[in-house]
A and B are shown apart, each in its own frame.
Chain A
């Protein structure tokens, strides 16, 4: 079974700084998908960014980018020019390419952006 590990329970940075959230995963599969979801205090789950394992190029979405290291099974999220609205729980998630589209989530990292 796949597992996802987020080793940073909490992080805190000043507004406008850059912050990197770590994620590692364990799988024996070669093709899969990785996601970062954001959960603000409203509790709504929001997709931040996604990456296909067969793509070597790291995904980017505006201020959000990933560092995907397939051999190391690492998938970190970098937030540049952080904003107060980035304050949230961030979850890393894995999806296998086999069978139904089931997401396996990490434990989450609580990120606080300070003014």
Chain B
């Protein structure tokens, strides 16, 4: 199993550009999450999904959109990139029961200039 994979690993965007961060998991997990990690800080939840076709906002959803058309994929869309979105983005997945470990991808480092 590859686990949780994310692409790209690094990206530089200009202000106002858009992009999609890709996330795929091969563990048949129903729950998937997107977090951002600002320098020197902990992770904050952007959006999450409890299954295909079901998504909901987390703590910091403004400026982002998500979709979940399959169990495996959970892309994160940035519209009109802003410098405040410079961060490291992590995707994670877990089984649909409490106490279960969230498995994290390797992260995408995004810089908006």
Contacts and interface: CB of A to CB of B under 8 A. Distances in A.
A108 B37 CA distance: 11
A25 interface: no
B50 interface: yes
A101 B98 contact: yes
Contacts, number: 57
B45 A50 contact: no
A86 interface: no
Interface residues of B, number: 27
A103 B40 CA distance: 18
Interface of B: 31, 33, 35, 40-45, 48, 50, 56, 58-59, 88, 90, 92, 94, 96, 98-102, 104, 106-107
5 contacts: A45-B43, A91-B42, A100-B48, A103-B33, A105-B42
